[in-house]
Structure 1
Amino acid sequence: MATAMELRRRAKRRKLIIQGALIVLSVIVVLGAIQSARVNLAALGITSGFGFLERGTGWDYSFSLIPKSINDPYSKTLFIGFLNMMFVGFISIILSTIFGFLIGTARDASNIALKTAASVYVQIFRNIPLILQLIFLYSVLIHFPGPRQAMSIADAVFLSNRGVMIPGLNVPPSVALGLLIASLLLVAVLILLKTPLMRGLLYWLGGTVFGCIAAALIFAPAGESIFSIPALAGLRFRGGITVPIELAAMIVSIVLYGSAYIAEVVRGGLNQVPRGLTEAGQALGLTPRNIWSRIKLPMALRSIIPPLVNQWIFIMKATTIGVAIGFSDLFMLVSTSITQSGQTLELIAILMLAFLLVNFAIAQFGNWLNARMKLKAN
């Protein structure tokens, strides 16, 4: 008779054989589908492959973080779309998280007026479809007055149907993009070092401000100020940073929608903190702010992080709604590239791979962050 160990080995071997057979079968099915698609495309006179990425596009689009031209190859055009998607996604994630925590905390407050206002905000922006909010906001913004009648705030910020003009550093766009990436890397380093929340925010703010000023001192043109203030020159504004209407509408609508959901996640996490812990803090004479920052928030984060990461992934995927207003994110540029080149399968595969990689990275970061926040067993 076979021993128990031999039976376990046989069962393990049988499982490995079955899994190997399933993998081989899956590979055969995928290769067969690819070959069938190639045959069908060849019959229609459509070439397959990624050689088209080196061809020039011959068409233009609205927004880019780096210099662009209608003669750019498809590879650079798609890379620009990827940068635009990442830019909008991460800006929206950061702002949605900040506002979501503020609104969620307000919903958990004892002040009735503050709690009611936060609840109304959540109910309004959570229950209206995101694309409807985007189209409504875009329709409002494009009907603002022209540059000569632009709305002004302290003669430094201007809002017109051309966009939002704000003061900025007198540095090239590529340097500004590098500063944004460096700021995100600083956040990752502070998290890796387990820096306390409030201290980490101060370090991040100080480091970002220092980096911006240093970059402006180094890269600003000789004899010019390190700050650039927008000023009307003819029919347009010169200087400062111009945020196009499409970009402003995208970020504002996604932040309003995403922060409403994140606020509910935060409120649910704060409500799960045992009342006895807050009562113990009150007995020790802690202020409400200290109770929130030292007791409620650290305990709530352990239940907030998993659904919060899901919201981050949703916000990144929500950048695809920009196609409704002509914002040149990856989805819109892929759609236009399909129309112009006819390489449907390849371009859809590139789009799917890009979102898979970005959202997988966000999910892995969330898993790592969740593991770091778990209570350690003695």
Structure 2
Amino acid sequence: MSTFPARIPFWRDVRVLRVGAQLLFVFAIALVANWFYTNLQINLERTGIRFGFDFLWSTAGFGISEGLPFEPTDSYGYAFWVGVVNTLRVIGIGILLATLLGLVAGIARLSGNWLVRQIATVYVETIRNTPLVVQLFFWYTAIFLKLPRVDESIKLPGPIYLSQRGLALPRPYPTESFALWGYVLGAGLLVALLVYIGRRLYLARAQRPGFPALWAAGAFALIALGGWVLLPRAPVAWEMPTLGTFNFEGGWQISPEFAALLAGLVVYTGAFIAEIVRGGILAVPKGQTEAARALGLRPIYVLRLVVIPQALRVIVPPLTSQYLNLAKNSSLAVAIGYPDLFNVANTIINQSGRALEMVFLIMISYLTMSLLTSAFMNWYNRRVKLIER
């Protein structure tokens, strides 16, 4: 006669207890959220404050000095959108430049040249251990506001002009040949896609490593350059800045506030990225470098083909945190008067008195930027991570 183990009562079943604990936790969170919402509703009714976003269609009544074209007769909603675009511009350019600076500084910290290594060390240790807001004030008041007047601007190749009013750069604009060149670029993208697929299939059959994206980029660049040369007129021309009565006219005008904010964020975040890059390189086993040198690879190829690809698996996760920090640190633009979304939102609060709604929009904006940045970096991390058999 066979015997079977007794059935475990459900109140002692580990699986049931786990599900029950999770449901209990979710229920507790819902109770806390309901308490906050109820308390908010009671306080709003008690003080006579109405929650809503209809004010965003009201006339702003103030100007924004930089960004998308904006007039005081435009709405609060469009004003906030101008601030969001200004913030995105700082974040996008800042992430790119901070990555490049951090990569160079991180490699320099491991350089065999004593002077280069010490300069990189002083930069990293000095910048990381001083507050960002102090650095922003330094860039703004001690650097950009101390530049010469407009009529005595510093002229750099380009031409690029530096003055108290910021930077004046040449601005590209499309000519009548740009539409035809657009068809050439479309054909180039199609050819680049075919080259990428073909090269990837070839490398898979040959079981060889490679960079099919570089082949695709080369094919696209070759077609784009060929179209540029063969067209009767260049598809893009340059508008040069010229000195006017009070400021430069034409070209791109970059305000000292934007330049100071960008420089401060790039230099500050680049110092942290440098340490991440240095740690990632040191995490690569020394035998990998020795094996690459034994094959006769030059140091630059050892770094580019052997060390950096393996170091990326260590670099990318903490690099995501630095990108998110840069995005959130951009809110310090209010300290130097750059009209980012936080600065514009403060002005809207002062004008309309709708603090609760604007704080909610600020939180949603930064949360959306952070989640999108994190999602992209997580996708890239999955692409470069080590897949073990």
Is TM more than 0.5 here?
yes
Cα deviation, residue 252, structure 1: 0.7
Rounded to whole Å, the distance in 1 between the matches of 2:234 and 2:14 is 78
Q: Paired residue for 1:230?
A: 241
Q: Paired residue for 1:257?
A: 268
Cα deviation, residue 12, structure 1: 3.5
Q: Paired residue for 1:47?
A: 50
Q: Paired residue for 1:16?
A: 19
Number of aligned residue pairs: 355
Other structure's SS at 1:128 match: coil
Counterpart residue type for residue 3 of structure 1: R
Q: Paired residue for 1:178?
A: none
Matched, 1:203 2:207: no
Matched, 1:296 2:307: yes
Rounded to whole Å, the distance in 2 between the matches of 1:343 and 1:353 is 16
Q: Note if contact 2:173-2:238 (Cα within 8 Å) is conserved in structure 1.
A: yes
Q: Note if contact 2:84-2:341 (Cα within 8 Å) is conserved in structure 1.
A: yes
1:233-260: CA deviations, max 9, x gaps? 2222111101011000011111111111
Cα deviation, residue 43, structure 1: 3.0
RMSD of Structure 2 on Structure 1 (CA):
3.5
Cα deviation, residue 354, structure 1: 1.3
Matched, 1:102 2:104: yes
Q: Note if contact 1:131-1:321 (Cα within 8 Å) is conserved in structure 2.
A: yes
- Name structure 2 gaps, 5 residues minimum: 179-188, 201-208
Q: Note if contact 1:164-1:244 (Cα within 8 Å) is conserved in structure 2.
A: yes
Rounded to whole Å, the distance in 1 between the matches of 2:215 and 2:88 is 22
1:111-145: CA deviations, max 9, x gaps? 22221221122122222211111111110312322
- Name structure 1 gaps, 5 residues minimum: 176-185
TM-score by length of 1: 0.83
Rounded to whole Å, the distance in 1 between the matches of 2:165 and 2:92 is 24
Q: 2:126 aligns with which of 116, 120, 124?
A: 124
TM-score by length of 2: 0.81
Q: 2:327 aligns with which of 292, 300, 316?
A: 316
Rounded to whole Å, the distance in 1 between the matches of 2:219 and 2:65 is 31
Matches for 1:148-163 after TM superposition, within 5 Å: 148-154=151-157, 156-163=159-166
Rounded to whole Å, the distance in 1 between the matches of 2:13 and 2:156 is 76
1:339-364: CA deviations, max 9, x gaps? 22222222111111111121122222
Q: Paired residue for 2:254?
A: 243
Counterpart residue type for residue 249 of structure 2: R
Rounded to whole Å, the distance in 2 between the matches of 1:25 and 1:7 is 22
Counterpart residue type for residue 301 of structure 1: L
Cα deviation, residue 11, structure 1: 4.2
Q: Note if contact 2:64-2:70 (Cα within 8 Å) is conserved in structure 1.
A: no
Counterpart residue type for residue 99 of structure 1: L
Other structure's SS at 1:227 match: strand
Structure 1 residues 210 and 241, CA, compared in 2 at 3 Å: closer, same or farther? farther
1:187-217: CA deviations, max 9, x gaps? xx9xx9999679659939976x959x98xx9
Q: Paired residue for 1:329?
A: 340
